């Protein structure tokens, strides 16, 4: 089973937008040193989301690393011309051959007001845009310079995304963090309906999970508090810094997580490992994509280190990778 370090490039009070972008590039290097197979960034728009142009961060992260695959989870395809997306990632693949992933999704990735500003009149439906993108990347015409295509993934949280990934023979990443409960029926639907294509001969599944893991239970409580505050931060321009969490968390009511809640895997390493065992038993995934919500950069790295230690000692690459 492979591991992906998945960064949502969140903006915390003490780092600011510039710091969030720089820390994301540093995180790519740390993920490579820890033995992660991929590093992905998410496209999100807004004051607390530091990555409205993920291809820029992919470029920087790929230039700062040498072996790890780097890509998106995901480019919000409804907002863009498929040829432009294909052109961008064709160039990235030429600069970093064999290392670029193109994850696509439909979002929303932004508040409704921002989504309206990104929208353009006369846009094709999402499923048609996927078909156009795949055609551009496989047609071998003069629309794009010759290059091997990036590795494509379709990311989603429900049956619609699973159907589209299966229909086009794409690997599928399920956003488990969007669900409080396990949803193995979505992955089963994908596997049962998978049709081999240019981007995959067999179904391949990644499960994206949000983790709050630390050696100190007190740090775990602060991370859980940060998650709770982040979920209600619509009027904030930044998420709480680590110092703010120390000041706010003792007085903040922090309800116990619902039994079996899988939207956030929280705890000390033994507790998170137990939750990951349940998750992998339900989905039998090929890969796990790990993201976290942690304002302290060193502790963020430690989270990825702890999860890496829970995985098998040797992660065997597959022909797909």
Tokens of 249: 């968390």
SS3 144: coil
Partnered with residue 156 across adjacent β-strands are: 174
d(CA 275, CA 12): 27
- Give me the pLDDT at residue 231, please: 61
Tracing tokens 């007190």 back to the chain, one arrives at 218
Of 205, 208, 261, residue with least CA distance to 74: 208
- Give me the pLDDT at residue 108, please: 72
- Give me the pLDDT at residue 256, please: 66
- Give me the pLDDT at residue 193, please: 98
- Give me the pLDDT at residue 266, please: 94
Residuewise pLDDT in 10s, the chain (321 residues): 899 999 999 999 888 889 999 999 999 999 999 999 999 999 998 766 779 999 999 999 999 999 999 999 989 999 999 999 999 999 999 999 999 999 999 977 677 777 788 878 888 999 999 999 999 998 766 789 988 999 999 999 999 999 999 999 999 999 999 999 999 999 999 999 999 999 999 999 999 999 999 999 999 989 988 888 766 555 566 788 899 888 876 666 666 666 778 999 999 999 999 999 999 999 999 999 999 999 999 999 999 999 999 875 333 344 454
Phi and psi at 9, nearest 5°, equal 55, 55
User: How many CA within 13 A on the CB side of residue 285?
Assistant: 30
User: How many residues are given for the chain?
Assistant: 321
Question: What are the structural domains of the chain?
Answer: 2-310 (3.20.20.30)
Tracing tokens 């409080």 back to the chain, one arrives at 180
Residue 242 burial (CB count, 10 A): 21
What is the secondary structure of 14-43 as a DSSP string? TTHHHHHHHHHHHHHHHHHHHT-SEEEE--
Of 96, 103, 80, 94, residue with least CA distance to 6: 103
Cα separation values, 275 from 62, 209, 263, Å: 32, 11, 11
d(CA 117, CA 237): 19
Cβ-count burial 87-109 (b if 16+ within 10 Å, e if not): bbbbbbbeebeebbbbbbbbbeb
- Give me the pLDDT at residue 313, please: 37
Of 60, 184, 161, residue with least CA distance to 107: 161
User: How many CA within 13 A on the CB side of residue 248?
Assistant: 17
- Give me the pLDDT at residue 118, please: 82
């Amino acid at each position: 089973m492979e591991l992906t370090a998945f960064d949502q490039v969140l903006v915390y009070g003490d780092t600011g937008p510039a710091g969030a972008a720089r820390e994301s590039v540093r995180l790519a290097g740390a993920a490579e040193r820890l033995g992660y197979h991929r590093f992905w960034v998410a496209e999100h728009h807004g004051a607390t989301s530091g990555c409205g142009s993920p291809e820029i961060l992919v470029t920087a992260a790929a230039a700062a690393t040498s072996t790890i695959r780097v890509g998106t989870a995901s480019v919000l395809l409804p907002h863009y011309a498929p040829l432009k997306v294909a052109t961008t990632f064709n160039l990235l693949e030429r600069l970093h051959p064999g290392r670029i992933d193109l994850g696509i999704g439909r979002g929303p990735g932004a508040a409704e007001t921002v989504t309206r500003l990104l929208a353009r009149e006369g846009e094709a439906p999402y499923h048609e845009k996927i078909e156009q993108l795949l055609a551009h990347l496989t047609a071998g015409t003069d629309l794009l310079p010759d290059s091997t295509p990036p590795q494509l993934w379709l990311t989603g949280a429900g049956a619609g995304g699973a159907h589209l990934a299966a229909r086009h023979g794409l690997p599928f990443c399920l956003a488990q963090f969007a669900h409080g409960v396990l949803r193995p029926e979505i992955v089963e639907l994908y596997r049962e309906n998978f049709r081999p294509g240019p981007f995959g001969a067999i179904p391949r599944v990644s499960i994206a999970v949000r983790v709050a893991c630390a050696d100190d239970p007190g740090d775990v409580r602060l991370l859980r508090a940060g998650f709770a505050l982040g979920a209600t931060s619509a009027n904030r321009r930044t998420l709480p810094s680590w110092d703010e969490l120390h000041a706010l968390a003792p007085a903040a009511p922090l309800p116990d997580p619902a039994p079996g809640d899988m939207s956030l895997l929280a705890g000390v390493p033994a507790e998170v490992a137990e939750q990951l065992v349940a998750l992998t038993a339900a989905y039998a995934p090929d890969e796990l994509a790990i993201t976290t919500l942690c304002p302290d950069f060193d502790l963020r790295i430690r989270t990825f280190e702890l999860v890496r230690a829970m995985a098998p000692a040797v992660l065997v690459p597959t022909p797909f990778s």
